[in-house]
Structure 1
Amino acid sequence: LFRPGSSINTTFIIMGYDIIGDVHGHVQELEMLLKQMGYEEINGVWLHKNRKAVFVGDFTCRGPETRHTINLVRRMLEKGTGMAILGNHEMNVIGHFTKNKEGKPFKQATGSNKKIMDSIKAEYIYEKERLKADVKWLRTLPFSVSLGAIRIVHAYWNQSHLELIEKNRKNGKLSKKTLSEVFSSQSELGKAIRQTTRGIEVNLPHDLIIKDQKNIRRTNFRIKWWEEPFGKTFRQMSYGNKFILPDYTVPPELIEPFDVYPAKAPFVFVGHYCVDEPNMIASENVCCVDNCLANGGQLAAYRWNGEKQLKLTNFVFQRKRVVESGMGGD
C-alpha cells in the first residue's frame, strides 16, 4: 500500500486506535513501541495501514529528546496518521516559551520545571525559530478527542470544562490574548484547563504532614474523579499518588464540588497518573495509559479494537533503555 519515495496515502480504513501514554521526550522508546505495534516509518512519517495512534499528552519534557519527539508527533498529525492532545507539561512549555506584550513568559517556570525548560532550550540551541514554530504548533492542539465509543483526555473529563475551553480556542488555537486568562488561577478558563490537564486534587489538612519518597512535603493529592468522594478515606480516594495517605475519612469540607464521571459514559483514556499495571484499568470505563516511563517504568499503549469491555491484554509496553537524568517537575 505504501512505497518509499511515494506520497503517503492516508485514506486507509481505520480499524483501531492505539492510545499512547506519556512519552516525556523519550523518542527512542516511542519508536520502538510503534515498531512493536506494526507501525512503519515511511518518508519520515510513522504510520500503520489500518490503525491510528493517539497521544494522550505529556509527550514533551523530562526525557532527553523533546525536540525529536515533537517532530515525530507533529509529522504524524500533519499526515493524518496520528492524533494528539495537550497535557500539563505541554502547557508548561507553552507558558514558558510564549512571550506576552512585555516580552515576558506568560508563565515563567521555576524550580525543577525551570531545569526542564533550560534542557529543552538547549535542544534547540541552533534552531530558535524552530522552537518558536513548535510552541506555536502546540497551541493548535486540542485538550480532548472524542471518537464515539472512546474519549481521550490527559487527566479529567468534564464536558462543561471542555466546552468552555473549546469556546476559547479562537480559530482552533490558544491565542496570546487567551493565554493570560489561561494562566490565571482565578479565571474559570484557567480552572477548566488546570483540572483537564492535572485532574482533581484535594488539599490536605494543614496539620497532616505527608512526605513523598524524596522527603518533599505534599500539600494535596490526586483523587478518583469517577467515584463519589464523600464518606471515603484519603487512601480510598487516592489515585496515582507516590506517597502513603492515611486510612481515615476525608473531612467533607476539604472536598470542592466536581462532576463525577458517569459509570455509563463512554470509555475515557487518560495519562498523567503514573500507575502500575494492576491499576491502569481504573474502573469499567476509565483507563490510564501512563505506566511511569519518566520514573523508571515503561511506555504503554492501549490497543482499542472496538471491544465493549476494557482488557489488560490489550496493553503493549516498551521499557525505557536510557538512564533517567533525574529531572522531576509536575
Structure 2
Amino acid sequence: MSELDPGRGYDLIGDVHGCAHTLDRLLEQMGYRLQGGVWRHPRRQALFLGDLVDRGPRIREALHRVHDMVTAGEALCIMGNHEFNLLGWATPAAPGSGRQYVREHTPRHARLIQETLDQFEQHPGDWRDFLAWFQDLPLFLDAGRFRMVHACWDGELIEALREQFPDGRIDEAFLQASAEHGSFAYQACNRLLRGTDMRLPKGLTLTSSDGYTRAFFRTKFWEEDREPETYGDIVFQPDALPDEVASERLSAEQKSSLLSYGADQPLLFVGHYWRRGTPAPIRPNLACLDYSAVMYGKLVAYRLDQETRLQRDKFVWVDVKRPEEDQ
C-alpha cells in the first residue's frame, strides 16, 4: 500500500458503494485522467473513506478502480464497516469460539452483502484478491494536520490500537477477536467503523429507511457549543427520532457517556452517515463526505490543500444518476 505524498494536494472521497461510473465522473470532474488504465492526477492524491462495496450496481468495477489507484500510488483507502463485514463473513472464527465465522452467516448479515456476493460469484480469483486487500486496509489515517476514519475518531481507543498496530492495519487474529462482544478488538472496530450509538428509551425500536429495525440510534461524537439536554440534541442519522423520543431528557449518566471530538482537534473526515442536502462542514474541523450516493444522492469529495479550517467551497460532488441513466 502506498503512503501519503506530502507534495500533493488531497481529494478525500466519501462512500462509493459500487457506483463505479459515478466515481469516474467525479474523478474526471476533479481533473483526474485515465492513463494506462489508472485514474491519475499530476498534483493530487485521492483518499477514500471506505465502503466501496455493497448495495451498488458495479462493485467489482469500483474496487478495481480504487485498488489500481492505490497500487499505482495515486490513492489511499481506509476500511469501512462494509469491507469489515465482508472480511468477517469470509474469515473462519477462532478455534473454540463456538461459531463458524467471525461474522455469522445469518439472513440479516447475508442481506447486507448480497449484492457483493452476487457480483463476485463468477469471479472467485478477484474475490480472494480483494479480501486480502481488505485485510490490509487501515482502520484510520492520521496525517497530523488532518485525520480520516470511516465513522468515529475515538482518541483513547486509537492510541491503544496503535500500541499493537502503529499504522492501523489489523491482522486476522484481531479480526477474529472482534467477534467477542466486549473485547478490545470488538470495541475498537465497532467504534471506529460504526460510530457511537445509544439505546432507544422504553424498549422502543425503529425501522430505518434502509429497512432494518434497530433498538439503537446513531449519536454525535463531537462536542457542541452547548451541553446536550435531550435525545434530539445528540442524534446523527438520516432518520429522525419520533418527537416524543427526541424531546426526552438525557440522564447525567448518558451525558457522561458521550464522546467528544474537540473543536481544537485536527481536521477530521468521516463517511458512513448517509447525509442529505448540500455538502458543507459540520464544524470548522469536521466533515462527513457520505451523501447517500448509492441512494441517488451525491458522491462527494473535499479538495484539501493547506487550510486548517474547512472551507465550504472546497466540497465538490456529482449527483448520482438513476438506474436507467446508468450508475
Considering the TM-score relative to the shorter chain, is it more than 0.5? yes
Could you list the runs of 5+ residues in structure 1 that have no partner in the other structure?
A: 1-9, 325-330
Structure 1 residue 117 and structure 2 residue 113: aligned? Answer: yes
Instruction: Give the conservation status (yes or no) of the 8 Å contact 1:86–1:143.
Output: yes
In 2, the alpha carbon distance for the partners of 1:90 and 1:68 equals 15
Shift of 1:179: 1.8
Q: Which amino acid aligns with 1:319?
A: D
Identity of aligned residues (%): 29
1:33 aligned to 2, 17, 26, which one? 26
Counterpart position of 2:65: 72
Structure 1 residue 85 and structure 2 residue 78: aligned? Answer: yes
Instruction: Specify whether residues 210 and 96 from structure 1 end up closer, same or farther in structure 2 by C-alpha distance, changes over 3 A only.
Output: closer
Could you list the runs of 5+ residues in structure 2 that have no partner in the other structure?
A: none
In 2, the alpha carbon distance for the partners of 1:318 and 1:215 equals 26
* Superposed structure 1 runs of 4+ greater than 6 Å apart: 10-13
Counterpart position of 2:292: 292
Aligned pairs for 1:221-300 within 5 A: 221-227=217-223, 231-245=228-242, 246-255=246-255, 257-278=257-278, 280-300=280-300
Shift of 1:170: 9.2
Instruction: Give the conservation status (yes or no) of the 8 Å contact 1:230–1:252.
Output: no
Instruction: Give the conservation status (yes or no) of the 8 Å contact 2:296–2:322.
Output: no
Counterpart position of 2:307: 307
Aligned residues: 315
In 1, the alpha carbon distance for the partners of 2:82 and 2:58 equals 14
Structure 1 residue 151 and structure 2 residue 147: aligned? Answer: yes
Instruction: Give the conservation status (yes or no) of the 8 Å contact 2:178–2:186.
Output: yes
Instruction: Specify whether residues 170 and 124 from structure 1 end up closer, same or farther in structure 2 by C-alpha distance, changes over 3 A only.
Output: farther
Shift of 1:261: 0.8
Q: Which amino acid aligns with 2:187?
A: K
1:255-292, Cα deviation, whole Å (9 max, x unpaired) = 56254112101110100111124574111211111111
1:128-182, Cα deviation, whole Å (9 max, x unpaired) = 1321121011110111112222111111112222233344449974333222212
Q: Which amino acid aligns with 1:304?
A: L
Superposition CA RMSD, Å: 2.7
Instruction: Give the conservation status (yes or no) of the 8 Å contact 1:222–1:240.
Output: yes
1:178 aligned to 174, 181, 189, which one? 174
Instruction: Give the conservation status (yes or no) of the 8 Å contact 2:139–2:192.
Output: yes
Instruction: Give the conservation status (yes or no) of the 8 Å contact 2:19–2:56.
Output: yes
Instruction: Specify whether residues 185 and 247 from structure 1 end up closer, same or farther in structure 2 by C-alpha distance, changes over 3 A only.
Output: same
TM-score, structure 1 as length reference: 0.86
In 2, the alpha carbon distance for the partners of 1:16 and 1:141 equals 21
